[in-house]
Amino acid sequence: MKKRFNDTGVCIKDKHFMVDTTSKIEKIFELIEYGEYFIMNRPRQFGKTTALYRLHKELLAKDNYLTILLSFEISDDNAYEDADKFSSHFIGKFNDELKLSYPNQKIFIDKKFKTDKVGFAKLSLQITDFVQKVGKKIVVLIDEVDKSTNNQLFLHFLGMLRDKYLKRDLGTQPTFHSVVLVGIHDIKTIKLKLRPDEEKKINSPWNIAVDFKINMFFNPAEISTMLLQYSTEKNIQMDIQKLSERIFYYTSGYPFLVSKMCKVIDEILLPEKENQTEWDLIDIENSFKYLVKINYTTTIFDDLFKNIENNRDLYALTRDVVINGLKLPNNANDYLIELANTYGVFDRDAEYCKINNRIFEQRMYLFFTTQAIRKHEYRPNFLLSDSYTSVDNALDMPKILRKFQQFMLENYNQKDANFIEKEGRLLFLSFLRPIINGVGFDFKEPTVGDERRMDIVITYMKALYILELKIWRGEAYHQKGLEQLSDYLDLYNKKEGFLLIFNFNQKKEFKEENIEFKDKNILAIWV
C-alpha cells in the first residue's frame, strides 16, 4: 500500500508516514503498569487518539491485560438523562467493544442487575464482579471525554471510579487496574457549568489522577524517523538532520503541524519543482509560507481563532503577547493562562507565556494586523497614493519608514503616548501590510526579550529586509539593541538593517540616523 503524510484522523502505520513514538508509548504504558488513573489532555490534533489506538493495540497483545477502548464522541444524548440510562449505556458500549476486541471472550458485564434499574451503585458491583471473574488487569481507555465534562452524571461516574480506586488500594474492592481518559481539558481543573452550590465539587471526581507529564511534542530526532521512512520509500534525497531541525524550528514539534508541513511539500510544492527527487531547506521555508498565508485555512487554525475570539480576555492577552511582547510568567494557577495552554495557544512548558510555535505565532500576527485594518483602526488615508518601490522593483524601506514617521508626527502627540506604547507595533504592521500585500511577505521572529523588541523579516520580490521595532529605553539599551540586530543580520548574511524606535520622552525628536555598527549599516528612524 502506498503511504502518504496524514493530517486527518488516526495515523495508521501501513498507510501513513509516521514518527516513531515508541519511547512515548513506553512511558505511558509505565503509568498503566503502576495501575495509575490519569488523563492525556493536550490540544486538538496533537496525536492523542493515535497514541491511544497504538496503546490499545499493544495491550491487546499482552496476556495478563484486558483492555477496552471507548469513545464518548458519539454517545447517545439520552444516556445522560439519568444514572440508570448512563450506566446501561456504559455497559452496552463496554460489552460491544469487548466482543470486537476479544471475540472468544465469554464474560461480559451484566446488562441488568435483577431489575432494569442499574444506577451507579449497582454498576459499581457489576464492575467488581466482572473484574473478579476475568482475573486479569483490566485497562479502560476513554477517548473524547470533553464531550461529557459538562454533565453532572459523568462526574458522578468519575466519582464512582474514584471511590473504587481508593478501596482497591485498601484491598477491599477489586476494580479496573488503570483508567486513561483522553481529551483537551484536564478534568481536575476544568471550569464546569455547574450550579453555584456545586462549585465545590469541581475538583473532587478525578483528584486521584496522576499528572500526565509526558512530552507529546516531536523532537528533531523523532521527526527524522518519519523523514527516513519517506526518503527510503519515495527515493527522495535529503539532509534528514537539517530538515528535521528546521521543521522543528517552525512547528516546535506540534504533531499535526509536523505532518502538515511535510504533506504540503510532498503533495503541493514538490510536483512543481524542477528537481522532484530532492528536498532542501527552501522547501521547508516555502511550506511555512504556504501554511501561514492569511487565506489558507484548516481545522486547527479555525479552532485556534474560534477559541481566541470567543473569549475577550484571552483575545487581549494573546494579542499583547504576539504584538507587544508581553512577558508574563506562565502561571498554571491563572485560569486565563491555563486556558491558553489548554487550547494550544501557549506552550505550557515555557517559563513565560509564549506562543506554542512559530506557525501559530505568524498566523496570529497576521490575524491581529488584518483585524486592525479591517476595523479601520489603523489606515492612513494617504498610504496607497505613493509608490514604495524603486525603478528596479526593490522595496524602498527608507521611504516607508519616513512616511510612517510623518504619519505619526501628523496624527499623534505626547498625549497619545500610553496608546502608542501599547499599540505602536500593531500600528506600524497595519501600515506596512497594504504596501507589500500581494507581492511581499512579512513574518515576525519570536525573539522578544527584556526590551520588548520585535524582529520583522520582509520579503519582497526576491529581496529580503530585516527590520527591528523597539522602545527607546536609553543609550545603554540602544547599544544592546544594535548588537542584537547585528547578530540577527548575520543569521541572514545581511549587511544592511533598519531600526524603528518608539520614543516616549517628552522632548523626543522625530529624527533619523545612519549608524555604522561593526560591519553593518543601520538606518534608525525615531517616532
Q: Which phi and psi angles does 130 have, rounded to 5°?
A: -65, -45
pLDDT at 192 over 50: no
Q: What percentage of the chain carries pLDDT values higher than 90? A: 49
Q: Which of 156, 12, 6, 21 is nearest to 80 (CA)?
A: 156
Q: Which three cell numbers stand for residue 3?
A: 503511504
Q: Which phi and psi angles does 113 have, rounded to 5°?
A: -130, 75
Residue-wise pLDDT for 360-404, tens only, equals 998 998 888 888 777 655 555 545 556 788 767 788 999 999 999
Query: Which range, 39-53, 115-129, 140-154, 235-249, is most confident?
Result: 235-249
Single-letter residue type at 377: E
Give, to the nearest 10 degrees, the angle between helix 240-251 and helix 255-264: 120
CATH T-level assignment (fold) for domain 22-201: Rossmann fold (3.40.50)
- Which of the pair, 60 or 144, is modelled with greater confidence? 60
Residue-level pLDDT at 194 = 39
Residue-level pLDDT at 191 = 46
SS3 (DSSP) at 97: helix
Q: Average pLDDT of the chain?
A: 85
pLDDT at 518 over 60: yes
Task: Work out the average pLDDT over 174-197.
Answer: 71
Q: How far is CA 313 from CA 310, 373, 413, in A?
A: 9, 21, 29
Residue-wise pLDDT for 290-318, tens only, equals 998 877 888 899 999 999 999 999 999 99
Residue-level pLDDT at 195 = 43
Side-chain-side CA neighbours of residue 237 (13 Å): 4
pLDDT at 114 over 50: no
The confidence band for 477, taking pLDDT boundaries of 50, 70 and 90, is confident
Task: Work out the average pLDDT over 252-261.
Answer: 97
Residue-wise pLDDT for 406-448, tens only, equals 888 887 776 666 777 777 788 888 888 778 876 666 776 655 4
pLDDT at 201 over 80: no
Residue that has been written with the C-alpha cell 471511590 in this structure = 163
DSSP codes joined into one string, 403-470: HHHHHHHHH--GGGHHHHHHHHHHHHHHHHHHHHTTTEEEEEE----TT--EEEEEEETTEEEEEEEE
Q: Which three cell numbers stand for residue 378?
A: 489603523
User: Terminal CA-to-CA distance of the chain, rounded, Å?
Assistant: 61
CB contact at 8 A, 501 and 525: yes
Residue-level pLDDT at 325 = 77
Phi-psi region of 446 (alpha: psi -120 to 50; beta: other; left: phi over 0): beta
